[in-house]
């Protein structure tokens, strides 16, 4: 019988995890990629894609539960794509992430590898993020039942929440999110309530009409929590909170109604900002941020790697900072240990961002040079060095492939150690070739995408041997995993 989309198959036993959080099974000799299942489940699936060499489908009924299943804790599970692994026990998530690193390095990199250290799990699996972005919608996503009623009554509802996966113009209304600590949920709910009460129009992504567009909430834990592990309510109450309201027009009366309500209900907010965005997208890197109340930044704290004190990092509305603050320390500590710095080295920190890693390792180097393509991030990096009284760092902005060249090396010196933390796309071929030419003794490669990391490691293997591998989980209940690799120059 010829298969077609919409056909249902049962029973089918899910064998293992595959890429991008999908599961893998077999049917009549064909590989089947399945969404919504867990290894060990016996399920019924509905086919969503038919190819000659594989099938894709989604779970429509679970006939037998896998022993590694967990009960999802969020009411939005299945609709929201943010925490897609809530139905799998956390210890098992870590096992799959570890295997993801192994598979990528072996299959894509084709490398001879040392033993891979066990993945470092996150101490927190809920409320671990320090930044969330919510989108307003004048036409919130509805279930089939809700949609029928809305069409009959010709009445659609506002929403403030997240985009449905792979649907830019579909936003579902969030009741409770378990990703960010209080007062995140309360702020979001208040803002939605005030906007509706005051008849302030929510934005329509399709027609590009309306007023309120996005709401960003950033939190920074106080130094007591990170440096001393003090999780008491008194310590947590001292955290800093930033709110950024993005609106579509210069209509200060509406903007101030919302901001005033936020300030009155949440006096602990230390940075209250708004942005007027008249573009067709929600990015605001090129727009002015108006600080309406408080400071134009919040301050993150991170223990120094040698335990001698705490570093401070100012985080503005446009700043990048690792979104799991506590686990970022574990990640950077691994990079610091692999760099094996003795105090005399010239270190290059590629893709330095706001200089977090550069300033983190500076205490045990002769000098650190940070390179980054975003000029605003470099400005933040210089401020962060200044407020931490760090005098042996320099930062430069520019396209990495153009910045890191022979003349730059001649002017600033050849690095003894390179630490690189590129975006998901990895390093460009030109950058890899320049590292081969510069030939530092060690390279520490921090990656949020083991697949592109494996590709780059294959290029660097011309002169380097992988000597240490440490996966780190920054984002529990998601498919993402960070990986740190040390490479040593062959003599």
Catalytic residues, which ones? 448
Rg of the chain taking only CA atoms, in angstroms: 24
Distance CA 449, CA 461 (A): 18
Any idea which residue has 């001879």 for tokens?
112
Residues 6+ apart with CB under 8 A from 482: 331, 446, 447, 448, 471, 472, 473, 474
- For residue 132, what are the β-bridge partners? 217
CB 303 within 8 A of CB 227: yes
CB 344 within 8 A of CB 368: no
The secondary structure of 248-289 as a DSSP string is SS--HHHHHHHHHHHHHH-TTEEEEEEEE--SSS---TTS--
Distance CA 199, CA 281 (A): 23
Q: What is the DSSP letter of 404?
A: S
What's the order of all strands across the beta sheet hosting 482-489? 393-397, 367-372, 346-350, 417-420, 442-447, 482-489, 464-472
- Give the length of the chain: 491
Instruction: Please choose, from the candidates 89, 179, 128, the residue with its C-alpha nearest in 3D space to the C-alpha of residue 329.
Output: 128
3-state secondary structure (DSSP) of residue 4? coil
Any idea which residue has 């041997």 for tokens?
465
Please write down the HEC assignment for all residues of 333-374: HHHHHHHCCCCCCEEEEECCCCCHHHHHHHHHCCEEEEEECC
In 154-236, alpha helices (H): 184-197, 223-228, 233-236
Instruction: Please choose, from the candidates 351, 389, 385, the residue with its C-alpha nearest in 3D space to the C-alpha of residue 370.
Output: 351
3-state secondary structure (DSSP) of residue 438? helix
């Amino acid at each position: 019988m010829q298969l077609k989309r919409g056909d249902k198959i049962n029973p089918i036993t899910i064998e293992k995890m595959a890429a991008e959080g999908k599961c893998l099974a077999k049917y009549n000799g064909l590989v089947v990629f399945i969404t919504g299942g867990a290894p060990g489940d016996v399920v019924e699936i509905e086919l969503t894609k038919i190819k000659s060499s594989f099938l894709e489908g989604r779970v429509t009924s679970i006939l037998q539960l896998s022993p590694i299943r967990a009960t999802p804790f969020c009411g939005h599970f299945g609709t929201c794509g943010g925490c897609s692994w809530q139905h799998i026990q956390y210890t098992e998530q870590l096992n799959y992430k570890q295997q993801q690193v192994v598979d990528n390095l072996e299959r894509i990199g084709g490398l001879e590898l040392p033993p891979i250290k066990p993945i470092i799990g996150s101490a927190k699996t809920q409320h671990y993020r320090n930044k969330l972005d919510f989108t307003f919608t004048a036409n919130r996503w509805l279930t089939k039942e809700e949609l029928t009623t809305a069409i009959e009554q010709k009445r659609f509802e506002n929403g403030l929440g997240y985009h449905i996966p792979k649907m830019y113009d579909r936003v579902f209304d969030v009741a409770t999110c378990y990703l960010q600590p209080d007062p995140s949920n309360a702020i979001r709910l208040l803002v939605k309530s005030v906007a509706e009460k005051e008849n302030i129009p929510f934005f329509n992504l399709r027609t590009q009409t309306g007023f309120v567009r996005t709401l960003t909430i950033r939190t920074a834990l106080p130094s007591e929590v990170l440096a001393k592990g003090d999780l008491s309510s008194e310590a947590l109450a001292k955290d800093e909170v930033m709110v950024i309201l993005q609106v579509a027009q210069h209509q200060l009366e509406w903007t101030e109604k919302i901001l005033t309500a936020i300030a009155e209900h949440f006096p602990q907010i230390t940075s209250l900002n708004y942005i007027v965005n008249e573009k067709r997208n929600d990015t605001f890197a090129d727009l002015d941020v108006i600080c309406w109340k408080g400071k134009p930044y919040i301050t993150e704290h991170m223990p120094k790697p040698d335990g001698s004190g705490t570093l401070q990092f100012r985080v503005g509305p446009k700043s990048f900072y690792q979104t799991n603050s506590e686990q970022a320390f574990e990640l950077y500590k691994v990079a610091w240990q692999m760099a094996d710095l003795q105090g005399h080295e010239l270190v290059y920190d590629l893709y330095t961002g706001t200089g977090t890693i550069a300033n983190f390792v500076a205490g045990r180097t002769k000098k650190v040079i940070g390179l980054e393509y975003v000029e605003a991030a470099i400005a933040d990096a210089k401020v962060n060095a200044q407020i931490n009284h760090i005098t042996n760092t320099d930062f430069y902005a520019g396209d990495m492939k153009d910045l890191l060249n022979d003349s730059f090396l001649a002017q600033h010196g050849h690095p003894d150690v390179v630490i690189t933390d590129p975006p998901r796309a990895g390093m460009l071929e030109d950058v890899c070739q320049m590292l081969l030419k510069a030939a530092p003794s060690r390279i520490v490669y921090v990656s949020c995408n083991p697949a592109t990391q494996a590709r780059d490691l294959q290029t660097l293997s011309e002169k380097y041997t992988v000597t240490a591998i440490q996966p780190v989980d920054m984002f529990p209940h998601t498919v993402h995993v960070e990986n740190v690799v040390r490479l040593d120059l062959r003599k």
